[in-house]
A and B are shown apart, each in its own frame.
Chain A
Amino acid sequence: MTGTNQYVKDVATRGYQYGFVTDVETDVAPRGLHEETVRFISAKKKETDWMLEWRLKAYRYFVSLLKKDQLPRWANVKYPPIDFQDIIYYAAPRPRKQLSSLQEVDPEILRTYEKLGIPLEEQKRLAGVAVDAVFDSVSVATTYKEELAKRGIIFCSMSEAIQQHPDLVQRYLGSVVPYTDNFYAALNSAVFSDGSFCYVPQGVRCPYELTTYFRINTEGSGQFERTLIVAEAGSYVSYLEGCSAPMFDTNQLHAAVVELVAMENAEIKYSTIQNWYPGDEQGKGGIYNFVTKRGKCLGKNSKISWTQVETGAAITWKYPSVILQGDNSVGEFYSVALTKGYQQADTGSKMTHMGRNTRSRIIAKTISAGHGSGTYRGLVRVMPTASNARNFTQCDSLLLGDQCGAHTTPYVEVRNNTAHLEHEAFTSRVSEEQLFYCNQRGLSPEAAQALIINGFCKEVFKQLPFEFAVEATRLLEANLEGVVG
């Protein structure tokens, strides 16, 4: 620990030259990105040397990209240039002000919770109201943690994992998404603040849907999240990310990285419901959601399945992908992406077939309303080694109104002629005829539209665990309230 303290001092003194606030007790890194910022974050988190080194390598790589102006510009999204020196890269999660009752919570937030049908106790927890003994989320979390520990499952924050399980982290961090992968992955690797870590030992089926809800110690983790899930041979885990509650967050850039590793016969199911602040009606503000998510089916017969429901963020740029390395491995991607107002989403999946008899399936549903713009971008790549690879891709778009847009950009790269690829795509509108048919049966236009949209999303929603599917349905309805096609 002396070494670390030395770092802190180094950072503190050297940082001064750059206008750093020398007080090591401070919880906020000064604005801007420098090597010192990276050292500061690493020191704050009392990280080991290799971790700092790794961050620094990532930082240097990021700077080289930035110098060469190698920002990703291929996505079908428009936004003003981001000033990377005008961002605060680290702010320690501040304990939230405890409120004593729901009366003190912003009524607008409460109305949204209600719309989403979040139970009262859960509303209190989300809004930061002290919860009573009957529903103590801390003890709930503890009970779950003990149950998981009994089975040898590690489920903790990334910071904790770096401290407690350095060998595991060192072995797998960056093994699926190296810091050289892309611009935002490099940035994330340099400055990630926290995230989740999960390790499921050989042959263990995780008995719960793991959600960040049970992992209270990482609440308030920053905009640069890093998540790593490793499923050993024959294990199974289902992980739910995100909270259906709206985030009244004004942070601009959210650049997360998620890595999944599945060994022989292992299965990982990763579900996301994303409802970040999308910006106001004029398109001002909102989150830039630039995320790199990738899984590696390392072992034979392994399976990785991504399900996402993306309704928030001003700009979404993410392509949950699977590298199908093990023979007979399976990769799946199920997505619903909604854009309304001035939201833009460029999302899809990348399936890389390497092993024999590997199979992948992509079901992407894009809903656009208002001035929203939704793009499906996908790549199915079959390597020479991947004999008998199969892919099925279906990307459907639903347009509400005539100011929005939907685009489909599927790429295919096949280097083995035994591959079998199928692609289906169609664009539809909620037709006046369908609405009339529903109205004639007694449904209001709003209910009719919600029903038709739910029907459109059904294949994706049914992949979600039940409670999540219910939330996803409500979330879509709440988001489309007042939007009639």
Chain B
Amino acid sequence: MLEIRNLHASVGEVEILKGIDLQVKPGEVHAIMGPNGSGKSTLAYVLAGKPGYVVTAGEVTFLGKDLLPMKPEDRARAGLFLSFQHPLEIPGVRLDQFLRAGINGIRKSRGLEELDVLKFDRHLVKKVQLLEMDQGLVRRSVNEGFSGGERKRNEVLQMAVLEPTLAILDEPDSGLDIDAVQEAAKGINQQRGPENATILITHYQRILNYVVPDVVHVLINGRIVRSGGKELALEVEAQGYEELQEAEATLRSSG
């Protein structure tokens, strides 16, 4: 469903992604790990179409369509969801209103009937219960005064509500307590299905115990230096990135 070929991208003058190749098929979970500053979030932003992130080479197709010329809202409406590493506050805008506007934007683009307040509320309540979250949260302003962990769980809730085809989750487990990681994992798993795929960016092997990946990639300095099965995550956690970094350096000098 997602095919990334030789993707290069820059922020300002700096090239951050230096040739990414990645294929995600329906039903799969791909984990991406890598040291700080290696370009994981950049990859996520580029896929979601964030302004300021310039693709300098390469191609991306999503569900058979050329993704790169699409506007951010059209990517979202096509079924791409990004869980932000640092979710933003929108003061004064209630989370339920925000999500209803979002879901209706998506539904409208697909020729579906928009959800009225009652129908949407029913949908929302179900998801909140599923994730065992506090009902009061959805009546508060988006992320305003939310704790770090609450923000992260709220991202997972938003994913559950919008039911995307491809969910790109940028460190949904950072800052969560042990129980919350399990809850978040439950939410992510619930979204999985034969038609859907997940790209899960993380620093910790722990969440991968619950959301078992089909493939694990290691991203260093803007390149995927190694891909493997779920064991790779254990290896990375045990040994760190040092060896892999060396491998990346050799890769760079040779090519």
Contact = CB atoms under 8 A, between A and B. Distances in A.
Of A431, A432, A433, chain B has the most CB atoms within 10 Å of the CB of A433
Contacts of A440: 48, 72-73, 75-76, 81-82
B104 to A, nearest CB: 8
B249 interface: no
Interface in B86-123: 87-88, 90-93, 97-99, 101-106, 109
Interface in A452-476: 452, 454-459
A441 B102 contact: yes
Interface string B151-186: 000000010001000000000000000000000000
B158 A437 contact: no
A447 B92 contact: no
A141 interface: no
Contacts of A458: 92-93
B105 A442 contact: yes
A366 B121 CA distance: 33
B65 interface: no
A432 to B, nearest CB: 6
User: Interface majority SS on A: helix, strand, loop or mixed?
Assistant: helix
B101 A451 contact: yes
B73 A445 contact: yes
Interface in A424-445: 431-434, 436-445
Contacts of B52: 432
Given A442-B76, A447-B101, A455 B51 contact: no
B62 interface: no
B226 interface: no
Given A440-B48, A441-B76, A441-B98, A451 B105 contact: no
Contacts of A451: 90, 93, 97-98, 101
B139 interface: no
Nearest to B86: A433
B241 interface: no
A455 B162 contact: no
Contacts of A439: 49, 71-73, 76
Nearest to A455: B92
Contact of B105 (A432, A437, A447, A454): A447
A436 B99 CA distance: 14
A85 to B, nearest CB: 48
Contacts of B48: 436, 440
Contact of B73 (A431, A444, A455, A457): A444
B18 interface: no
A287 to B, nearest CB: 29
A455 B94 CA distance: 8
12 contacts: A432-B52, A434-B88, A438-B98, A440-B48, A440-B75, A440-B76, A441-B98, A443-B102, A447-B101, A447-B105, A452-B93, A458-B92
